[in-house]
Amino acid sequence: MYEIMSPTLTVASAKDHFSEVLEKVEAGASIRICRRDKPVAELRPIPHPATPATLGDVEGWLDDDGHAAFARAVGTLRKARSRNPFA
């Protein structure tokens, strides 16, 4: 396996070892790709919003106020749906 040590690669090196380059980017690295020693592109990870692992991780869902908020949200959705002439 080719080890990517530098945050800067040539186009040829990036192409030859693209799978390893993507593994590094997925792990959080940003890699600049250069052609004739001039930067032409940068690969960096796409930030993903944090998602709760379980419903219990969602703030407010397990307390009384959370249930009331949920009920209000469901009521709002039902009202919006009833205004839809195609529903």
Instruction: State the average pLDDT over residues 58-79.
Output: 62
Which pLDDT score, from 0 to 100, does residue 66 have? 56
Q: pLDDT by residue (tens digit) across 10-64?
A: 999 999 999 999 999 999 999 999 999 999 999 999 887 766 555 555 555 555 5
Higher pLDDT, 73 or 56: 73
User: What number of other Cβ atoms are within 10 A of residue 11's Cβ?
Assistant: 13
pLDDT value, residue 47: 82
Q: Is 58 left (phi over 0), alpha (psi -120 to 50) or beta?
A: beta
Which pLDDT score, from 0 to 100, does residue 78 have?
64
Name the residue ranges covered by the structural domains of the chain: 8-43, 49-87
Query: From CA 23, how far away is CA 17, in angstroms rounded?
Result: 10
